[in-house]
Structure 1
Amino acid sequence: MPFEVDRDVPGLIVKFGDYPLHHGGVGAIRSLGRLGVPMYAITEDRYTPAASSRYLRRAFPWRTTGAEEPERLVEGMLRIARRIGRPTVLIPTDEEAAVLIAEHQEELAGGGKFLFPRVERDLPRRLASKQGLHELCVEHGVASPAAAFPESYADIEEFAASARFPVVAKNREAFTRRKQPAVNGTTKIATPEGLLELARDWGRQPGVILQEYLPREQAEDWIVHAYFDADSAPLALFTGVKVRSWPPHAGMTAHAYVVDNPELADLAARFIKQIGFTGVIDLDLRFDRRDGQYKLLDFNPRMGAQFRLFESESGIDVVRAMHLDLTGRAVPEGEQRAGHRYVVENIDLPALIAYRRSGYTTPHAPARATGTELAWLATDDLRPLFTMLARFAGPGARHLHQLWRTSRRGSGTTKAKAKTK
């Protein structure tokens, strides 16, 4: 490879919450581990796929929900820093971790404990918030679905009387300290009556965003992954199209392709420069054929689970770009590997069945892949695959069946899992 990493600076996968079958964390461990970077990870226990990787030097079992007091989470991370004993690059895999790092930069960076992109303190929380993101899009002229933010049941009644259905309901914040969020992820609501019935359980302060539904027959799902330096300049920027997700049309990526899209890359780079973000991003956008606009749906201010879809001809992905930049090394330029695809084995098969039932196809998906990256199977690191299968055969399979049943509801609501990561 045309670059050398600093093998004296380890990486730490930071995740808060109970989702042990996380292929993104495994991908990051493999990506840097194959270059000789010592890798550590926070895991639910010692028997997760990430903990079983041959490229992981040590797992730190720490079962969290993400709703703990920030001081407790910072204290735990500082304990881990002492155990590692040298400056370490932080790699957050969820919003809870990204927001915590941004809001406690001084404590975590003090004494050279951790390395991470320095960003405006409140920006990651605002970007992870559906309302905050919508407001930033409006402020900077970036297209996003029309949205309403009801503050009471009366507001919802008023919305139901005039809105065009179906609509989509999402939790206003990416994560919350409430015991039970208003909706379980992305929820498609077909009728005003369905909305009013569902809203009765949302309490005095609904905490939801009611959003325009973009019909899949008139839309395409695109993704952008990138790493931006301290000047908000892209050192690695990739575009691709999502072929299938699970649950269908609303959940995490199950199958995707790298597709060159200069217009989308320019849109993302300009938006990041305007808001002044630094670090790794994972964007979900939907191209609306009705008006020819890319509409920003989600802004994840951290590594996305499918980031290994993207690698440049120089061998750079967003995690490698971040490690190189934070350790003072140049990030080599290189074109993305157009036509490359990414498959998440345990969810792509049920997604394929569901998509064939619906008759939906993605126009921009290449007819043939130039190469394939599997989320779990790697010939040089087999244990994560077998660990995933062992855990997936129990509670994982029951959860998959529950999502499948939910996704088949026709006229009512369709829910997607909140923790997509």
Structure 2
Amino acid sequence: MAAVLCTNGLLSKTLAVVRSMGRQGIRTVVGEKTRFHASGFSKYADKTVVYPDPVRHPEPFYEWLCETIVREKIDFLFPMDDDVMDIVVSRQDGLGKLCRILVPSPESYRIAADKSLTMRLAEGRNVPCPRTAETSFGPQVDPDELLAVTSALDYPLCIKPRVGSGSRGVRFVNDAAELIAVFQDIHLTYPNPLIQEAVSYGGKYGVCLCYDDNHAVRAAFVQREVRNFPEERGPSVVQESIYDEKMLDYTKRLMDGIPWRGVVEVDYMVDSRTGEPKLMEINPRYWASLNLALACGIDFPFMHYRLGVGADPEPMLAYKEGVFGRQLLPGDILHFLASKKRWRQNPPFFTTKLKDDVISRDDPWPAAGFLVSALRYCLDLKMWRFLITR
């Protein structure tokens, strides 16, 4: 029987992959730093395994990964989040001798993961993006130099880490004094963050693609972010499937500049003043709301797997539009509690018609697994911040 290994079992996107593989009759092993996670409670997870922290102990994690692939006779590896992707992409030559993987080259991954390099790529590929300033300070920030670097930009400005995802480290400033104070604070944790003109919020969108080993698009999906937590600028907690040819074309043009393999999501924000979508970032891995694409008929994990093991499946390009998905636990609950418009939401909060990332009649136990992990980490604020921003 074919077997796959999925990492980052705490995340709902990993649960989506576990369910996809299990429904295809593929043996699925799921790993995480702890045994307490929703993916491990799925009836489609054949085995759960615990691994060393990839961030704190990258070398022991890599050794564990190689040993597990051999011991469990893994055919294909799904690296599900940044911590594992960083290691798998950089060590893909060695891992490729043990199992099949389909990930981008180290150089393509580096450009996609670094927002500064991404913006340079976008400008060169004629893809709309916010006007951007880069910095190169040491430990201390020179205020005069900072103001000089950003002199061509119009306030408000957005300061964001060059590497990372979600809303961690992202701040907005309205004048020069605030820029100097906030930039220095962020620079201490995220050296030389990117500075951009803030886009007037007109909605956020994500274009999701899967490329084969020849850099051709084999699956595509577009979603609109309906609700976010924190509101507007935070990660999405409710999404709707849509079709947008312009954003698809922009994304293909962008990614052709860094020949890609595997999955990718490209985020845009529409400028309310012009109606033009502007590039926000490339997420060089699976995205949090993966389950919505599966619910609409685009099975990214199975496509990814089949391409990775050398099959030649038919492209998946047509899907159901107007379908809503959400992350009730904990994202949409937190949005409901925080929003002043909680009773005027569309779709409403109190409905069972949304395709939930975790809750499922077919596979109910992951919801219990989430609650168990919530109890396990109820006092761990760092873990809660991580889960909310994923």
SS of the residue 1:331 aligns to: coil
Q: Quote the Cα distance in structure 1 between the aligned partners of 2:387 and 2:155.
A: 22
1:55 matched to which residue of 2?
A: 44
- Write the mapping of 1:132-143 to structure 2, written as runs, cut at 5 A: 132-143=117-128
**Which of 152, 156, 161 pairs up with 1:171?**
161
1:89 equivalenced with 2:62 (yes/no): no
SS of the residue 1:328 aligns to: coil
SS of the residue 2:104 aligns to: coil
Cα deviations by residue, 1:173-221 (Å, 9 ceiling, x for unpaired): 239xxxxxxx9432222332222223334359932111211122xx221
Q: Quote the Cα distance in structure 2 between the aligned partners of 1:398 and 1:107.
A: 35
Amino acid at match of 1:420: T
Q: Quote the Cα distance in structure 1 between the aligned partners of 2:387 and 2:173.
A: 16
2:263 matched to which residue of 1?
A: 280
Amino acid at match of 1:80: T
Cα deviations by residue, 1:282-327 (Å, 9 ceiling, x for unpaired): 12111224334321112111111211111387x4321111112223
2:175 matched to which residue of 1?
A: 191
Deviation, 1:166, is 2.2
State the TM-score, normalizing by the size of structure 1.
0.80
Cα deviations by residue, 1:37-93 (Å, 9 ceiling, x for unpaired): 111122121121122222111112124152544x4432221011122124x222122
Q: Quote the Cα distance in structure 1 between the aligned partners of 2:388 and 2:112.
A: 16
Q: Quote the Cα distance in structure 2 between the aligned partners of 1:25 and 1:269.
A: 25
Q: Quote the Cα distance in structure 2 between the aligned partners of 1:142 and 1:358.
A: 36
Q: Quote the Cα distance in structure 2 between the aligned partners of 1:233 and 1:141.
A: 20
Deviation, 1:361, is 8.3
Amino acid at match of 1:291: T
**Which of 52, 66, 76 pairs up with 2:64?**
76
Range 191-200 or range 219-228, more displaced: 191-200
1:211 matched to which residue of 2?
A: 196
Q: 2:161–2:190: 8 Å Cα contact kept in structure 1? A: no
Q: 1:12–1:90: 8 Å Cα contact kept in structure 2? A: yes
1:23 matched to which residue of 2?
A: 12
- Measured at CA, do residues 331 and 204 of structure 1 come closer, stay the same or move farther in structure 2, by a change above 3 Å? closer
Q: Quote the Cα distance in structure 2 between the aligned partners of 1:331 and 1:257.
A: 26
1:13 equivalenced with 2:6 (yes/no): yes
Q: 1:98–1:124: 8 Å Cα contact kept in structure 2? A: no
Amino acid at match of 1:135: R
Deviation, 1:356, is 4.2
Q: 1:224–1:239: 8 Å Cα contact kept in structure 2? A: yes
Q: Quote the Cα distance in structure 1 between the aligned partners of 2:4 and 2:110.
A: 23
1:291 equivalenced with 2:274 (yes/no): yes
Deviation, 1:355, is 4.6
1:409 matched to which residue of 2?
A: none
Q: Quote the Cα distance in structure 2 between the aligned partners of 1:358 and 1:131.
A: 36
Q: 1:91–1:303: 8 Å Cα contact kept in structure 2? A: no
Q: 2:133–2:195: 8 Å Cα contact kept in structure 1? A: yes
**Which of 310, 313, 321 pairs up with 1:331?**
313
Deviation, 1:144, is 1.5
2:360 matched to which residue of 1?
A: 378
Q: 1:160–1:195: 8 Å Cα contact kept in structure 2? A: no
SS of the residue 1:241 aligns to: strand
1:420 matched to which residue of 2?
A: 389
Range 391-400 or range 203-212, more displaced: 391-400
SS of the residue 2:14 aligns to: helix
Q: Quote the Cα distance in structure 2 between the aligned partners of 1:204 and 1:248.
A: 24
Amino acid at match of 2:32: T
Q: Quote the Cα distance in structure 2 between the aligned partners of 1:115 and 1:211.
A: 39
Amino acid at match of 1:164: D
Amino acid at match of 1:286: M
- Write the mapping of 1:155-166 to structure 2, written as runs, cut at 5 A: 155-159=145-149, 163-166=153-156
Structure 2, unmatched stretches of 5+, are none
Q: 1:25–1:93: 8 Å Cα contact kept in structure 2? A: yes
Q: 1:165–1:190: 8 Å Cα contact kept in structure 2? A: yes
1:34 equivalenced with 2:18 (yes/no): no
Q: 1:151–1:205: 8 Å Cα contact kept in structure 2? A: no
2:34 matched to which residue of 1?
A: 45
**Which of 107, 113, 122 pairs up with 1:122?**
107
**Which of 106, 131, 147 pairs up with 1:146?**
131
SS of the residue 2:87 aligns to: helix
- Write the mapping of 1:266-415 to structure 2, written as runs, cut at 5 A: 266-311=249-294, 315-333=297-315, 335-345=318-328, 346-357=330-341, 372-392=354-374, 395-396=377-378, 399=381
Q: 1:166–1:189: 8 Å Cα contact kept in structure 2? A: yes
SS of the residue 2:228 aligns to: strand
Percent identical residues: 19
Deviation, 1:255, is 0.1
- Measured at CA, do residues 80 and 32 of structure 1 come closer, stay the same or move farther in structure 2, by a change above 3 Å? same
- Measured at CA, do residues 339 and 294 of structure 1 come closer, stay the same or move farther in structure 2, by a change above 3 Å? same
1:408 matched to which residue of 2?
A: none
Q: Quote the Cα distance in structure 1 between the aligned partners of 2:292 and 2:183.
A: 38
Range 22-31 or range 264-273, more displaced: 264-273
SS of the residue 1:81 aligns to: helix
SS of the residue 2:286 aligns to: coil
Aligned pairs, how many?
Answer: 379
2:88 matched to which residue of 1?
A: 101
SS of the residue 2:191 aligns to: coil
State the TM-score, normalizing by the size of structure 2.
0.86
Q: 2:168–2:389: 8 Å Cα contact kept in structure 1? A: no
Deviation, 1:275, is 1.9
